[in-house]
Structure 1
Amino acid sequence: MNTQIALNALTKLKINGMAKVYQALLAMPVQEQPTLHSPVARLAEAELQESAEKKTTMFLRFSKLRYIAVLENILCNVQRNFTNDHLPALTDCSFIDRSQNVLL
């Protein structure tokens, strides 16, 4: 199987992460190309990253978030029952580890 056929096969199988890395490996000079173990590991890692990125993008698209959350935009006042003393508790993001939501 020649290299272009292999590259087309990866693209046809929708393994885009592997196809990009394989194309980058083919662009390297022959004396700099790594042994077989290293490219296979790089291909697998690239595909895992591509899959995780697609999943994250899909979840963000379907989440229908209304606002971009930035700590500088949080209004701290007594009417909201949220003061500047409460803000450091949010910055460590420990609520994520506990699978809790924060409504401000």
Structure 2
Amino acid sequence: KTDGSLIKWMDRIKKAQLIILDDFGLQPITHEVKLILLQILEDRYERAATLICSQLPVGKWHEYFDEPTIADAILDRIIPKGHRIDLKGKSLRSPSKHLS
């Protein structure tokens, strides 16, 4: 933060046409990262596309963020304009595909 690299990185993220957050919610995140995520989503709201891939059901995101105010703020920037796609079926990464 002190050298300005975080601000430069966030500015690049803000300008990207699409960002993809893959495997979202697999590990706990710090309070600081929650605030950075909130800022990224705020900067991009109604300006650019954000794709979030997660095995964590949206219904458990409040529990994941463990800070109701931040969780509400983040979800307020995702849910109203979001399109949710729930995938069903077997994983394409099944062990039988990799054995040869």
Q: TM-score, with normalisation over the residues of structure 2?
A: 0.24
Higher strand share: 2
Q: Which has the higher contact order (CA 8 A, sep 6+)?
A: 2
Q: TM-score, with normalisation over the residues of structure 1?
A: 0.23
Higher helix share: 1
